[in-house]
Structure 1
């Protein structure tokens, strides 16, 4: 293991204006293998700028953002989220009048500015470029404390780095890295946090720089961190590391190459033409379709889950009602790397997929691992009940809930876990979730008016987002079919800009599919929620409810020393995407309305926060813009980093020493 003293990176690869192409740079990277990032970049930059594509992207993204709840708030964000201030519609207008050297340069401008929102629900992806090739460095990092002096923390290359590199990248790549065997690292962390997007809190984006683990559907997965993995090949071909080996004071310098390989979802190609045809053109899943156009619906059979996303693009109807989703948009593969077997926990007592239950050696502490709120809707509900019953039968009196890197999923699964752990009472009845509002801009009002005027004619099966039959009031009473819940809109003035929102609506998670317990299974003092700050969407809804209503313990591990860690981020209330909005627009017969976004020409994806939840402590404010500092921030140790069982035991001893 090395203590990473400092690093200096090569300058960004800079593209020049396109010249007549003598050869096709994409043919050189068509075969499976490892390539220099500059080779990949040459290919991506070879696609010429096209004004029609620029205008299309700007039209779709800007008009989709009219449904995004947070646009006006981002004009001047409150502390500690001031870094998230951006006029996204103003930036899109600028992009719409800018000429670029290449189509890739256009993509970079759109992507960088959308990421400035630091809202993981509002992610923008162009599958022609994002993670078409993934760029790696075999040095995942972590901030580790000295076991004998916890206040002494430094940035280290993690102990398992060589194991991960060999297992994941193979001997060929490792040989290249071994053969190879400026800037202050703090600056590199902050610069990464400034462009990575995803989370409002800067500390959480800083945490993304480092390696971590996550429970995936089929295995324990390993996140290399933003230092060691990139979705675009724009960091240059190498990085210079200045290292100090453990047990020495001597600084050593190495220049290590970045290496790129095709992403796991990239469709094979032989040249630029086939790359574009196979990866860059709109597919049946790119745009929406009328729910009642059988021809369109038939083409969307395979469009349930766009690449990189853990959940369907349009929330499915389960047991007669559409199950709302709140999850992050990913611009790269979520689970491409496995956690080394020596670090992975043993077989669980109970659970399946991303839901697993363990009992620690003290025989008092149960651990519920929940890598996401996705998966089988019925299976997760039953798995929670079965797991709690199993660990309690074995004597567990405490529960540690590990939601590390949980990016959300089904809102009602988060509500169900809240209800199960909290029991019946004012915090869970009549509903366990947050009241919320959606943005009520003109096109949304037109869609709702169309439905209300002829509900059985426009939406006979109750498929549409804006159908009043899909929603309840704050007393959990369902709206009638002829109730226009967006008219009158609530007029707000946000950062001196007028905006419109719907009336408050309740969540739609009751009645439950299963009978919840009559009593809470654990005392609240004996429940703690653990993560690395990267708990978002439905995960945030769950953790905020448990912390705010019942004062359960919240713990964040790792991260940049000397910072205030947030135990969750990107709260939202419900996330959607362009395809879902487009489906409502088309079903309402409003696609030709001047306010309606066009169809994407390319294979693009735009997410939004469609509904914002109100604060538990102040019903006049949205929870999204409140701060959520962790009660405890504990350092990682060489023995606990990316070692879940060792970490659980360490945290348990700190929280419950007796």
Structure 2
């Protein structure tokens, strides 16, 4: 029999031993991604995200599979592979020739230690093509979004271009202060150098417009809101944890220096507690909210080139910071109506000028939008408006059909091909095989029934389009292409729309129409502006960019964009073995698959630099950059006074 005292001693000994064992047992230490996964959204920092991104080890198998798929796309499907080698592009273009396949193959043969560096180099290589239709993005390194609390712009004040503060969300009374240096470097060259890394355009001025802040129309708010520009927000990890600005303000004889850290927020919610689980749940598994697109008109390509700034983690009820007014005060313009893609305004002075803001070409019900536009034009006429400004700023494109039909409301077709420019696609044996199997099935880009036969002016009735390719040699490199064709668009020639608009003062009258753009009018928006200017002689205005240099009124006019995933799906649909493999990481590679030519030109419009410069180049100033109606009045005064 054990006495109570002995039982107590035994229990004490057991507890002491247990404590000793517990103390000796190793405590699992969180790795960099574990720390990120455990961090509250409000406590996120650049350093925490960067540490996780850079902790992911390089995997040669994943790298080999990735570079194989990317090289295959650019070597065999990318429609501008050979055009990208073009040397000595003339103004307004400033892009250097890029042998994208060679660049990618070099990345594939480089030894890396960090996975992050490998994927970043691919993204930078694709961006160097300066074509917003091209985008490489994976969830792994676009899981977080970064914002600066101030937006910059580059106005011309007193005849001199400088970098200034467009708006400051921390209430420091620094709006319109001149930014003399950024990170210790002269501000304007530093900002332009950053802009030249962006994919938007081959025009350095248009890229500068993409980098800086501006007012853009936000359909969700039905108003003009401040847009950060890509310098002040990023879906990729910025180079540094903060930005240091040296400011010269008019109310102070001395300069002031401020250092702003990036505000960070997640693009979507996925749980992980280690590098391994980050790889599993973020990199290799689709997120519940889908793949976050690269935040640059980039990504933006179907709807807009850059996202509109919206209230986010910068503000909360406890911060005590009052957000500045973000909407535009259009004192000289009355809004008459809002559609899905267009908004109608009337200038108060001069009152005979109407404005149509075309902020996207992406329309769900095209017939409804055309009806809205026709009704808006009727209201213009009722109000004795005789002149129209089209405002295409920050329009990332959308529907190729709408690009045609909106122009037909002003310059009605006289033939079915009036608003169809010559186009072609690359061809190889596998494309020929799949085109046979998917003919007249889905309307995808390898379905010949989606295209018009220029010889008959009718839709293709067989897959002949892909069966009789021609060889085109550009810059010493040859590829097979289809004969000239065109994506079929709706012909309104005999429709009620054409009859409705025939007596308007601007119908078939280019003198009464002007185009306004900041160069960020891309894809199908580029087609619309090309139709209006090149086919019908509508005068063009561009605003912003680089003082004293020509500025494009459209960008990335590649024609039609697809992506690796979609092309693989087309092969699967046709029950044809795909020569392409999906990316091992969740994400995608987007690229132009169709090239377009201006009328009577054999140079793809993407590289036909003579078609890009606007007739008139305006500068941003402190007033028109914040009030779009001021800008419209400037165009009206120059055009019709």
Question: What's the TM-score once normalised by structure 2's chain length?
Answer: 0.82
Per-residue CA deviations over 1:120-159 (Å, capped at 9, x if unaligned) read 11111112212x222222221112233xx4x23322101x
**Could you tell which deviates more after superposition, 252-261 or 183-192?**
252-261
Name the counterpart of 2:62: 53
2:483 pairs, out of 482, 489, 503, with: 503
Name the counterpart of 1:590: 576
Change (3 A) 1:331 1:380: closer
Name the counterpart of 2:212: 210
Change (3 A) 1:101 1:347: farther
Name the counterpart of 1:432: 419
Structure 1, gaps ≥5 residues long: 1-20, 167-181, 285-301, 311-325, 452-457
Name the counterpart of 1:515: 496
1:259 aligns with 2:263: yes
In the alignment, the residues of structure 2 paired with residue 582 and residue 384 of structure 1 have an alpha-carbon distance, to the nearest angstrom, of 38
2:164 pairs, out of 156, 164, 178, with: 156
Deviation at 1:467, TM superposition (A): 2.5
**Could you tell which deviates more after superposition, 116-125 or 353-362?**
353-362
> Aligned Cα RMSD in Å?
2.9
- Whether contact under 8 Å (1:556, 1:634) holds in the other structure is yes
1:392 aligns with 2:402: no
Any runs of at least 4 consecutive aligned residues in structure 1 with deviations exceeding 6 A, and if so which? Answer: 163-166, 329-333
- Whether contact under 8 Å (1:123, 1:606) holds in the other structure is yes
Name the counterpart of 2:109: 97
In the alignment, the residues of structure 1 paired with residue 338 and residue 536 of structure 2 have an alpha-carbon distance, to the nearest angstrom, of 26
Change (3 A) 1:651 1:337: farther
2:348 pairs, out of 361, 364, 371, with: 361
Deviation at 1:22, TM superposition (A): 5.5
SS in 1 for 2:129: coil
Change (3 A) 1:468 1:240: closer
1:374 aligns with 2:362: yes
In the alignment, the residues of structure 1 paired with residue 48 and residue 630 of structure 2 have an alpha-carbon distance, to the nearest angstrom, of 42
1:72 pairs, out of 82, 106, 125, with: 82
In the alignment, the residues of structure 2 paired with residue 23 and residue 330 of structure 1 have an alpha-carbon distance, to the nearest angstrom, of 40
In the alignment, the residues of structure 2 paired with residue 333 and residue 633 of structure 1 have an alpha-carbon distance, to the nearest angstrom, of 22
Name the counterpart of 2:398: 409
Name the counterpart of 2:141: 129
Name the counterpart of 1:179: none
Deviation at 1:98, TM superposition (A): 2.4
1:619 aligns with 2:570: no
Change (3 A) 1:108 1:341: closer
1:467 aligns with 2:471: no
In the alignment, the residues of structure 1 paired with residue 451 and residue 304 of structure 2 have an alpha-carbon distance, to the nearest angstrom, of 31
Determine which structure has greater relative contact order: mean sequence separation of CA pairs < 8 Å that are 6+ residues apart, divided by chain length: 1
Deviation at 1:332, TM superposition (A): 9.5
- Structure number, greater radius of gyration: 2
- Whether contact under 8 Å (1:282, 1:600) holds in the other structure is no
In the alignment, the residues of structure 2 paired with residue 77 and residue 235 of structure 1 have an alpha-carbon distance, to the nearest angstrom, of 30
* Aligned pairs, number: 570
In the alignment, the residues of structure 2 paired with residue 162 and residue 624 of structure 1 have an alpha-carbon distance, to the nearest angstrom, of 38
- Whether contact under 8 Å (2:213, 2:226) holds in the other structure is yes
Name the counterpart of 1:43: 52
1:337 aligns with 2:337: no
Correspondences of 1:175-574 after superposition (within 5 Å): 182-219=184-221, 220-263=224-267, 265=268, 267=270, 269=272, 271-283=274-286, 307-308=292-293, 328=301, 334-337=307-310, 340-343=325-328, 345=330, 348-362=335-349, 363-378=351-366, 379-425=368-414, 429-448=416-435, 450-451=436-437, 461-474=441-454, 477-512=457-492, 515-518=496-499, 519=502, 521=504, 522=506, 523-574=509-560
Structure 2, gaps ≥5 residues long: 1-27, 174-183, 312-323
Change (3 A) 1:437 1:282: farther
In the alignment, the residues of structure 2 paired with residue 380 and residue 476 of structure 1 have an alpha-carbon distance, to the nearest angstrom, of 31
Change (3 A) 1:126 1:116: same
Question: What's the TM-score once normalised by structure 1's chain length?
Answer: 0.80
- Whether contact under 8 Å (2:123, 2:137) holds in the other structure is yes
SS in 2 for 1:26: helix
Per-residue CA deviations over 1:468-512 (Å, capped at 9, x if unaligned) read 222211256334543421222110111111111101113311344
In the alignment, the residues of structure 1 paired with residue 525 and residue 32 of structure 2 have an alpha-carbon distance, to the nearest angstrom, of 43
- Whether contact under 8 Å (2:541, 2:618) holds in the other structure is yes
Change (3 A) 1:266 1:568: farther
Per-residue CA deviations over 1:322-346 (Å, capped at 9, x if unaligned) read xxxx972799972343794441658
In the alignment, the residues of structure 2 paired with residue 76 and residue 430 of structure 1 have an alpha-carbon distance, to the nearest angstrom, of 30
- Whether contact under 8 Å (2:398, 2:523) holds in the other structure is yes
SS in 1 for 2:464: coil
**Could you tell which deviates more after superposition, 333-342 or 363-372?**
333-342
In the alignment, the residues of structure 1 paired with residue 47 and residue 264 of structure 2 have an alpha-carbon distance, to the nearest angstrom, of 9
Change (3 A) 1:554 1:340: farther
Change (3 A) 1:464 1:532: closer
In the alignment, the residues of structure 2 paired with residue 185 and residue 86 of structure 1 have an alpha-carbon distance, to the nearest angstrom, of 28
Deviation at 1:54, TM superposition (A): 0.9
Name the counterpart of 1:578: 564
- Whether contact under 8 Å (2:424, 2:485) holds in the other structure is yes
Change (3 A) 1:652 1:375: same
- Whether contact under 8 Å (1:163, 1:340) holds in the other structure is no
SS in 2 for 1:369: strand
SS in 2 for 1:128: helix
SS in 1 for 2:485: coil
Name the counterpart of 2:16: none
- Whether contact under 8 Å (2:439, 2:462) holds in the other structure is no
